[in-house]
Structure 1
């Protein structure tokens, strides 16, 4: 097929990508601010801070696990990929500048500009000199300077939204109107995302068709996608069967696998529904009836965890971003990988607990990393099973978080008054 025919073929998929890109900005702001403002430091004290810390630490570990596996196994990087050599000095300079760009983008000078432009160091031509033998000798391989590139500065918006949401949580009653506004905005955006998800199979079908007709070696692409699915599955198993049980054992000194056995009903429900929100009633039952967990902790942490604690999504997004980079022969340096880990951690925090909602969060990551968003169709070939596996990981992380926080907060729970208990149960209705 000609390039024009491929463009016509992928038009329904192009509409899907445009709709998702349209929702990225309000989705980032509303979901992150609504999620962060629910962490009420003064109302829940150490319990809330421990829950928030657990969510951030486990999500970052999951993202790091995904990045490490993707760098080690390199899914999507075929043997035909040509390697580009560069001098050690130039590479070192680019790593330092990428890390500094990461910090600059975390603190944008203009929030409006951050909606469509981000900071990126540009390099001028090499400075050279002539030696005594009339040879051209480089004095400085690269000369970095200020510059910008098109694209949403996702990292800057995420940092501002996290800080703004935490401040709203600290302000208590004074910030109620704003918290309700962002909560309502988040729910409205999620309704739009639900509508888009109904259309997404059609758009993805045409996007995938466009990718297939452009591929010269379908068998090679199939092997690369299979390697991607294997990498994600291996990462989820490591996080679920090694990282989370190790955290549980280190804190509680109890057998984590016996604890997981009591969650079997919730985990199977999560795998079947691919939705941590739909699994929430079963999760509450397993934690309160099978493990006798304090209702003040379960009804505070589990509803928030279904929105904020997305370990499986963070790991999947990290592997998927590097997979798409590999199939496009793009190499990430250390600074870009560090930036990717922060973006994945923050973007997964705002992912909705509904089937295939990770697609919208994945778009945020691809936009931030400067990767082609149309390649998301390749991920959808195996996403039906990976979505169920990462949802199961999310629910397991929520449950272990409840047990860890309750164990660390035993003294606070024993000293809490009935008024404190009603306050915690009331706030859990978020």
Structure 2
């Protein structure tokens, strides 16, 4: 009894201490919240017209872009009752088309120059470590995205119901998974660099007539037993578009070579550094036009929509499922990874990316958004240029979290619509194939529909049923692209944090612009420039 009483006293004592610690912790949290609220209240009370004007001046780009999205949505729905013709819609969307062409014009020189200068600025050991970290991050986030997509579609089960609700709109080109994989490898090593700037290799299929002779046994041949059979054979072909994967591989190798050439390679490093600087100045000019282009892109796409009622029923549930999966990945998974690794507030980091995310929403292309992403990371979030130049071009080419999530989810949705029961092995096959196929999805609009064929073929699902989800793909494609851009940007922040020791040991001047000017550069973002520069003076790097 005495022993039991002593143990009980110890337990009560420890329990009391834990309660006191919990109460003190809660008091500290409450005190912190109160002090912040008091500071915020004082800041609001002491706010002057100059402060308000300064806020709008610093955030002019973001405010204009958000306003463009809102006005574009309102204008698009307001014009739908007029039943504009296809030609009228094209004329109306022309300002948005100009923005897309301007951004795509800069993708090729920006991708090549940024990768070469970024790799050349680091020694081979530092670039190797950075590359491994980036690949591990890309693989991890893509696998997590696929897992989220599979869990969401199995829980919500949006494909329950009748297949008659859908209307097929067009035929989908059949693609062999093996040929698609070989095309991916072929595009990594383009035989002609000039052609790689305009075309990608793609296996096409042609019909061939084969004469077959029917035999009864080894000695007898039946008369008139020859038959003609048509078969599809793969033939070399190409499609229009930048071979981004091939240019990325070449630029990485070229950057490593001129980086190891030291003094001999300095002229080439200076050339590509100046090219990168010039492209970023062009981006600054285009950025003032971006809100207008985004407004007409979104409004034109809403006017072009055939039937809004298609968003209801099974297709509506499918849309909600995809949106929920993308939100979970973008709002919870990626910020959590950033916080766990860097111990910094992820939402402060994301706030500096607002313009890039809204541009991705409007353009539906991670490659076209690449110049804006560079601008936001380097100017708003102060990410080292040696990291952004290496991580962003590679990420925009192979890191497609949103696309991988969508492909896995859509494949299981099509199986549910067809009342096809998938076993664990088939679901695992879908997850692996979706991860691999997303790497081959170029950063162009609706690339996910093409790679979806590979995922469906891997488990024997009907590829023609991709047409069931085309009605809402234009909208979901924008959300996927926004998720992809966010994943690339957070990856750059994480890789910079993990590579900080290698970056400190490398000469920072090598990775910066060769253009030395005392005045502010024209592409410097207005966001947070004065406050940050006053608190963190730049000593070694060119002021951005």
Scaled to the shorter chain, the TM-score interval is 0.5 to 0.7
Q: 1:317: how far off? A: 0.5
Q: 1:230: how far off? A: 0.7
Aligned to 1:251: 341
Question: Number of residues paired by the alignment?
Answer: 286
Instruction: From 355, 374, 393, give the equivalent of 2:445.
Output: 355
Q: Distance in 2 between matches of 1:54 and 1:296?
A: 18
Q: Distance in 2 between matches of 1:60 and 1:181?
A: 35
Aligned to 1:374: 464
Contact 2:198 2:241 in 1 (8 A): no
Q: 1:259: how far off? A: 0.9
Q: Distance in 1 between matches of 2:372 and 2:151?
A: 33
The answer to whether residue 367 in structure 2 is matched with residue 277 in structure 1 is: yes
The answer to whether residue 154 in structure 2 is matched with residue 71 in structure 1 is: yes
Q: Distance in 1 between matches of 2:350 and 2:152?
A: 25
Q: Distance in 1 between matches of 2:341 and 2:183?
A: 31
Q: Distance in 2 between matches of 1:385 and 1:398?
A: 21
Contact 2:177 2:454 in 1 (8 A): no
TM-score, scaled to structure 1: 0.59
TM-score, scaled to structure 2: 0.47
- Bigger Rg over Cα: 2
Q: Distance in 1 between matches of 2:475 and 2:157?
A: 21
Instruction: From 491, 497, 507, give the equivalent of 1:401.
Output: 491
Within a 5 Å distance, the mapping from 1:21-32 to structure 2 comes to none
Q: Which runs of 5+ in 1 are unaligned?
A: 1-37, 81-149, 169-175, 196-208, 213-218, 423-430
1:4-49 C-alpha deviation (Å, 9 max, x unpaired): xxxxxxxxxxxxxxxxxxxxxxxxxxxxxxxxxx9x9868210001
Q: 1:354: how far off? A: 1.2
Instruction: From 134, 147, 160, give the equivalent of 1:51.
Output: 134
CA distance 1:181–1:372, shift in 2 (3 Å): farther
Matched residue of 1:277: which SS? helix
| Aligned CA-pair RMSD | 3.7
Contact 1:193 1:357 in 2 (8 A): no
Contact 1:151 1:368 in 2 (8 A): no
Aligned to 2:480: 390
Within a 5 Å distance, the mapping from 1:312-351 to structure 2 comes to 312-351=402-441
CA distance 1:177–1:330, shift in 2 (3 Å): closer
Q: 1:324: how far off? A: 0.5
Q: 1:367: how far off? A: 1.7
CA distance 1:177–1:62, shift in 2 (3 Å): closer
Q: 1:185: how far off? A: 9.5
1:95-131 C-alpha deviation (Å, 9 max, x unpaired): xxxxxxxxxxxxxxxxxxxxxxxxxxxxxxxxxxxxx
Q: Distance in 1 between matches of 2:451 and 2:157?
A: 22
Contact 1:270 1:395 in 2 (8 A): yes
The answer to whether residue 388 in structure 2 is matched with residue 298 in structure 1 is: yes
Q: 1:223: how far off? A: 1.1
Contact 1:265 1:282 in 2 (8 A): yes
